[in-house]
Amino acid sequence: MEELTHFDSEGRAKMVDVTDKQTTARVAIAGGGIVMKPETLRLIKERAMSKGDVLAVARVAAIMGAKQTPSLIPLCHPLNITSVAIDFSINEKENRIDITATVKIAGQTGVEMEALTAVTVAALTIYDMCKAVDKGMVIKDVMLLEKHGGRGGSYKRGS
């Protein structure tokens, strides 16, 4: 196991110094989901929720969330993100919307936190837009699925 890099020799929190790291293409893919009542899922699919097109708003919120990650996670570097893609998949059998975020950068540090934040913000936005009809929704399984680039190389969940 590698040492924790966000602490100095005295155990104090620090931002990792990436000055000497090589700029490389990096990508992170995160996923998660939100489970709801069948009626809530139907309203989302039909774009009949009173607040508007839930998935369109959640997509924009997720992109904004990825870009705001260093404002939310104290030791994250501000990054010049080059791409954020958000995909939704409706799973009617489980009354679930699966969310996937793919974030890209050419930089000196990875974008895993930005991808995870994007998924989480998308799920929170769905919850916010639908809570009037379904307060029992559950956000689940937010996780890193893949990452590529940088010194650490590639990672794929389950491999």
Q: Which residues are catalytic?
A: 128
> Are 83 and 29 spatial neighbours (Cβ–Cβ below 8 Å)?
no
DSSP 80-107: ---EEEEEEEEETTTTEEEEEEEEEEEE
CA distance 29 to 122: 14
How many CA atoms lie less than 13 Å away from 116 in the CB half-sphere? 15
